[in-house]
Structure 1
Amino acid sequence: MAIVDRSFKVGKGRTGFLLIHGLGGTPIELKFVAKGLARRGFLVHCCQLAGHCGTEADLVASTWHDWYASVVTAFDELRAECDTVLVGGLSMGGVLALHLAAQRPGEVHGLVLYAPTLWYDGWSTPWYRFILQFALWSAFGQAIVRRVYSFTEGEPYGIKDPTIRAVVVASMKSGDSTQAGILTTPGDSVCQLYNLVHVVKQELKTITAPALIIQARDDDLSSLKNAEYLQRHMGGIVGTLVLDDSYHIVTVDRQRDLLIEGTMAFAMVVSARVQLEAQKADTVLPINAAHPVRVRTAPAPEAPGAEAARAPRLP
């Protein structure tokens, strides 16, 4: 099966949103979020990571550097079209978003991290996960993991809603990885994720862009400890929205509408702040030191969906 490009853009506007799918996943898992944001006036780009939407061999042939290169390409395209750009990611996609914010300070105006995964420690993960995590931090351990380990998803497949779960599982088991991703993640790719995480952990203090973490309280693959770790170690303001009726794939599960509203409200605040800072920067134009010119500026236009942004602040 050849790799199929499932990346897509939707919406229009000067505020852009780059969305990044998870390990072994597909841009389709972000479709609901993308369409919801587009309806509210955002230009949304759901990128596809290198090696994804193909076979397990395609995924193994790619590294986290390749995945990140896909993110950079999509980000630069969006930057060329928008004044403000936020970046969101699901699971490993959130880790890639963090790396981008660290590497491109001042260009990523805000981060939304959906079930960010620094380590797999949810209630449905195997009992030997602690041994696996220990092994992944050494070259020798990774060599063993690459040879003998693979992670095959099982119930509840990251989804609490039984109807949605049935559709996703049927798609995964059909062998069509372009719709719901692959069922089994190779050990090589798990090692690549942990190598990425090792780099990002060292960058967290340098990330000052405002961030919102949205995660399920009962996340079956990555516990809330992931969100708590990021809150303690990131260098900027980090808000959280904890969902009480979802599992890991929060972007398609029961509370996806609440997730979209939270994302949109956060994005409105970020967009308004960027516009205000730009307005202040244009107020005084120093033609020369002795005779600065003061310029009257028109009020900044309301950000898309500004009415919703006046809703109560997120906790």
Structure 2
Amino acid sequence: MSSDQHGHLTLPGTSSVGVLVLHGFTSTTASVRDWARALHGAVDGAGAHPGVSVPLLPGHGTQWQDLAEQPWQAWRDAVDEQYWRLRRHHEHVVVCGLSMGGALALHTAARRDVAGVLLVNPALALVNRMARFSRLLSPAVPSLAGIASDIRSETALESAYDRTPLAAVAQLNVLMHRTVRTLPAVTAPTVVFRSDEDHVVSGDSAELVAQRSSGPVRVVALPNSYHVATLDHDAPLIERMSRDAVQRLSRGEDFLGGAPA
């Protein structure tokens, strides 16, 4: 599966803002590349672009057996590495994520100094309630059918594993649980793009962010998309609103569109 289209993407920039964009569970950077490129267009008053980093998370982009071997801390540490790289060159960092990437973005925002958070269907609770038993089931059932391409558009396809390793689901459960516990430490302004119909992540996820985060949260409904909304009908809305938020930040304005900072 590994190729330039699915691997790490870096879009250089010299504005005051760096942007970290994180893909979802069993997927690759291909699912968020258009989103990342839209964010790179958030120029400041001098026409400078933000620096954008889109890492391929450990265990992804190869074969599903590799993902089964990864502890959740490996994903966290990979995100931290990219966060600190951005901080060396930019005054502000915005963290963005789709699905599991949304959980990692929130986990980072709870522990690091971030200026804004952009989330697309963040994974804090799953639709499949059997997922909570993945740790017990994984020794006997190594994998189940893949969860990719929950997309309403008939022309879009997500590049992801065709099998879901239960050992990795168990690690995702730990990440989600720990992230929910740290939500009160998230003080940065946050936008949650939430699909009206999502067959992977429960709507409780967006509600948890809105209810438990300490910072201001805006929830934006996506009426025409399923889980992988960055590849679905509402992708232009996500890209436009995300670009505008980062652009406001780079120009010294309020991330959510309020009064100037």
2:82 to 48, 54, 74: 74
Q: Does 2:103 align with 1:101?
A: no
Could you tell me the percent identity over the aligned residues? 27
CA distance in 1, matches of 2:117, 2:9: 20
Amino acid at match of 1:254: H
Aligned to 2:46: none
Tell me the matched-pair count: 251
What is residue 33 of structure 2 aligned with on the other side?
A: 31
Match of 1:247 in 2: 226
- 3-state DSSP of counterpart to 1:6: coil
Give the counterpart letter for 1:13 in structure 2: T
For 1:149 and 1:234, the matched residues in 2 are separated by: 35
Q: 1:253 to 1:230 in 2, by over 3 A?
A: same
Distance 2:2 2:229 in 1: 28
Matched, 1:83 2:91: yes
Structure (1 or 2) with the larger CA radius of gyration: 1
Deviation at 1:39, TM superposition (A): 2.6
Measure how far apart 1:270 and its partner are. Answer: 3.6
The amino acid across from 2:236 in the alignment is D
Q: Which runs of 5+ in 1 are unaligned?
A: 122-128, 137-141, 169-179, 278-302, 304-308
Distance change in 2, residues 1:158/1:131 (3 Å): closer
How high is the TM-score relative to the length of structure 2? 0.87
SS in 2 for 1:147: coil
The 1:53–1:84 alpha-carbon spacing in structure 2 relative to 1, beyond 3 Å, is: same
Q: CA deviation at 1:44?
A: 1.2
In structure 1, give the amino acid aligned to 2:41. R
Contact 2:189 / 2:216 at 8 angstroms: preserved in 1?
yes
Query: What code does the residue aligned with 1:150 have?
Result: S
Instruction: Quickly say closer, same or farther: Cα 1:221–1:131, change in 2 above 3 A.
Output: closer
Name the CA shift for 1:100/1:145 in 2 (closer, same or farther; >3 Å). Answer: same
Q: Given the superposition, is the C-alpha separation of residues 108 and 242 from structure 1 closer, same or farther in structure 2, using an over 3 Å criterion?
A: same
Residue of structure 1 in register with 2:73 after alignment? 65
Report 1 or 2 for greater relative contact order, CA contacts < 8 Å, sequence distance ≥ 6: 2
Matched with 2:47 is none
Determine if contact 2:196/2:222 at 8 Å carries over to the other structure. yes
Q: Deviations over 1:261-286 (max 9, x none)?
A: 111222234444xx479xxxxxxxxx
Q: CA deviation at 1:149?
A: 5.6
Counterpart in 1 of 2:173? 194
**SS of corresponding position for 2:221:** strand
Question: Are the counterparts in 2 of residues 85 and 108 from structure 1 also a CA contact under 8 Å?
Answer: yes
Paired position in structure 2 for 1:13: 14
How large is the Cα RMSD of the aligned pairs? 2.6
TM normalised by structure 1 equals: 0.73
User: Which residue matches 1:161?
Assistant: 153
Query: CA shift at 1:96, angstroms?
Result: 0.7
Provide Cα deviations, 1:215-247, integer angstroms capped at 9, x if missing partner: 211122113221012111111111111111111
In 2 relative to 1, CA 11–2 (structure 1 residues): closer, same or farther, beyond 3 Å?
Answer: closer
Distance in 2 separating the partners of 1:146 and 1:214? 36
Asked if 1:217 corresponds to 2:196, the answer is: yes
Structure 2 equivalent of residue 231 of structure 1 = 210
